[in-house]
Amino acid sequence: MNILNKCSLLCVQFIACIILFNCSSCVNNTAKTDQFLNTIIDDSVRYNKKIFNDQYQKLNIQTHDSSNISNLRISILELSDYIDHTNTDLKKIKSDDSETNNVRNIFIDNHIGDSIYYKLDNIFTLANKSSNSLPVKEYISHEASLSLGNHDIESWKNSIFGANIPMSVIIFLKGIQSEIYKIGASVFMDK
């Protein structure tokens, strides 16, 4: 099992930011660092997506699909797809002095950050409604507080998208993808 799958979203983001900021001054190492981080996080997303799909298939075979479970699954897949499309757009931003302004424009001025926030909040709400056990509900609440902070959308958007380079945002969004698959799988296993 990949060690990244044992870390929380916050841990992954923290490690990624440290590596990026420590290596960003080393021009020769930045591309290698970006590629390394993308590989690690992509592996985590793929792994958690596989578990998510496997657990959903087991659940769907064992019982009929409830509306909360179905809505949770659809919401997770929609946010994941939204993140993939957003990351594709972020990769097109050229590296220059205005790249943080471009990120700010996309996520804050054009309200993409609002969409991600509300979709993520909806997933946490659906996951909480769909889970049966207290430990899973506590896990969901813990991840929601790590991912959404104190539910102040403006400070959330500014802290994540206000002054970050595209690669930092891509890593953050991939961390969200990995985490929502883990949350979905946890709920499906809880049934």
Mean pLDDT, residues 6-15 taken together: 48
Q: Is the pTM of this model over 0.85?
A: no
Is residue 46 scored above 50 in pLDDT? yes
Asked if residue 56 lies in contact with residue 73, where contact means CB atoms within 8 angstroms, the answer is yes
pLDDT at site 153: 92
Between the alpha carbon of residue 42 and those of residues 36, 143, 150, 170, the distances in Å are 10, 20, 28, 11
pLDDT at site 64: 54
Mean pLDDT of the chain: 81
Percent of the chain topping pLDDT 90 = 46
pLDDT at site 123: 97
The number of residues making up the chain comes to: 191
Which of 28-37, 53-62, 74-83 has the highest mean predicted lDDT (pLDDT)?
Answer: 74-83
pLDDT at site 7: 44
Q: Give the tens place of pLDDT for each residue, 84-140.
A: 999 988 888 766 656 778 888 889 999 999 999 999 999 999 999 999 899 999 999
Between the alpha carbon of residue 54 and those of residues 77, 132, 172, the distances in Å are 14, 19, 25
pLDDT band at 42 (very low <50, low <70, confident <90, very high): confident
Q: Is the dihedral of CA 70, 74, 75, 80 positive or negative?
A: positive
pLDDT at site 71: 93
Mean pLDDT, residues 162-187 taken together: 90
pLDDT band at 41 (very low <50, low <70, confident <90, very high): confident
Mean pLDDT, residues 146-167 taken together: 86
Please indicate whether residue 134 or residue 33 has the higher confidence score (pLDDT). Answer: 134
Side chain identity, residue 95: S
Flag the least confident range among 24-33, 76-85, 151-160. 24-33
pLDDT at site 121: 96
Asked if residue 175 lies in contact with residue 89, where contact means CB atoms within 8 angstroms, the answer is no
